[in-house]
């Protein structure tokens, strides 16, 4: 039986219907691949690329931008760690690499920790990012409409001590921006450099990744009100093919890989779904696929369904949980109830 989470949520029923991981499990992967590509004639409304963690690698940055252009991207998001240490010259070199691709799509930036962690003055580093990213709002967070869809870019905008985090002002702005723009059957694309604790693969305490501030929890609470959100992050550099990279609960989240590791993510946006492809920017091949489908709510319930390894799951009848029978991925998922 498929792993199914049912959560009470007004406005929307969201189903994560297919994720194909190339070469991981033969029969399951093949079945999923066929399912996600069965409609080959429908054209997307538009496409865009999310990439991150260029870390001043100009050669791979140019490859990623070329890949975006060749896949008809209308926009590119560079979701942080543009630089290695946040120096002005590093920004200039990356922007020169981007501009080396003639007629490239417009690029939108989010700030990563490498933009400030090695700088002695956080505020100087933050303002340098804002200047180099050419953000007229003069903040690290902002909203854009791209092809009539909402794109929201976030970043840690305060660092009073060791850790940077989102200010109360930014969280309030984010919540009000979602409330003002949310439509029940239309995805909202949110970008931030660092993943939320216990969402995508490699973001768990067992991986050495922890929730650091109360602001992170507040951020999650806001996202949980909007199941049409797709939060895309970078930071961890792990392979997008790792099982669990696409998180589906009260919102959807995923990592876009790292340009430094020759990976980026293409999004094809349709009227009722978003088809996502992990791309190897060196081999120019798709290495991972997933689909998030939006359906008007008729039941008062929100459902997320992960059918990546459908044949590997069974319902454990004695308790309300799912147990994976494939030993390398044996984890217990609880069925959350609203």
Question: What residue ranges define each of the domains in the chain, with the CATH number in brackets?
Answer: 3-38+45-305 (3.60.21.10)
Q: What does the pLDDT look like over 52-107, one tens digit per residue?
A: 999 999 999 999 999 999 999 999 999 999 999 999 999 999 999 999 999 999 99
Farthest CA pair distance, the chain: 60
Q: How many whole angstroms separate alpha carbon 13 and alpha carbon 300?
A: 8
Q: What does the pLDDT look like over 137-185, one tens digit per residue?
A: 999 999 999 999 999 999 999 998 888 999 999 999 999 999 999 998 8
Model's pTM, two decimal places?
0.79
Residue 4's nearest CA partner among 299, 333, 228 is 333
Residue predicted with more confidence, 149 or 15: 149
First to last CA, the chain: 22
Q: What does the pLDDT look like over 28-60, one tens digit per residue?
A: 222 223 233 444 568 999 999 999 999 999 999
Rounded to the nearest angstrom, the gap between the alpha carbon of residue 176 and the centroid of all alpha carbons in its chain is 21
Q: How many whole angstroms separate alpha carbon 49 and alpha carbon 68?
A: 6
């Amino acid at each position: 039986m498929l792993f199914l989470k049912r959560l009470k949520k007004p406005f929307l029923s969201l189903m994560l219907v297919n994720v194909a991981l190339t070469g991981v499990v033969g029969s399951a992967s093949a079945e999923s691949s066929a399912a996600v590509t069965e409609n080959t004639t429908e054209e997307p409304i538009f496409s865009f690329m999310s990439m991150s963690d260029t870390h001043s690698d100009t050669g791979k940055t140019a490859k990623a931008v070329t890949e975006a252009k060749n896949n008809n991207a209308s926009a590119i998001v560079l979701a942080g760690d543009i630089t290695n240490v946040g120096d002005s010259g590093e920004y200039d070199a990356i922007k020169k690499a981007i501009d080396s691709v003639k007629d490239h799509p417009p690029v939108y930036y989010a700030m990563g920790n490498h933009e400030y962690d090695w700088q002695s003055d956080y505020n100087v580093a933050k303002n340098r990012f804002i200047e180099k990213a050419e953000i007229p709002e003069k903040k690290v967070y902002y909203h854009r409409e791209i092809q009539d869809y909402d794109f929201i870019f976030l970043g840690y905008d305060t660092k009073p001590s060791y850790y940077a985090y989102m200010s109360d002002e930014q969280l309030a702005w984010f919540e009000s921006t979602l409330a003002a723009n949310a439509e029940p059957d239309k995805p909202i694309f949110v970008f931030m450099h660092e993943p939320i604790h216990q969402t995508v693969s490699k973001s768990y305490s067992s991986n050495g990744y922890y929730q650091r501030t109360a602001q992170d929890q507040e951020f999650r609470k806001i996202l949980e009100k909007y199941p049409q959100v797709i939060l895309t992050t970078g930071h961890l550099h792990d392979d997008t093919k790792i099982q669990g990279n696409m998180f589906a609960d009260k919102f959807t989240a995923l990592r876009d890989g790292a340009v430094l590791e020759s990976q980026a993510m293409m999004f094809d946006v349709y009227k009722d779904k978003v088809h996502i492809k992990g791309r190897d920017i060196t081999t120019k091949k798709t290495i991972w696929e997933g689909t998030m489908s939006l359906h008007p709510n008729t039941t008062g319930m929100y459902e997320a369904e992960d059918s990546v390894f459908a044949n590997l799951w069974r319902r454990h009848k004695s308790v309300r949980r799912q147990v994976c029978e494939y030993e390398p991925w044996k984890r217990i998922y609880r069925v959350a109830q609203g």
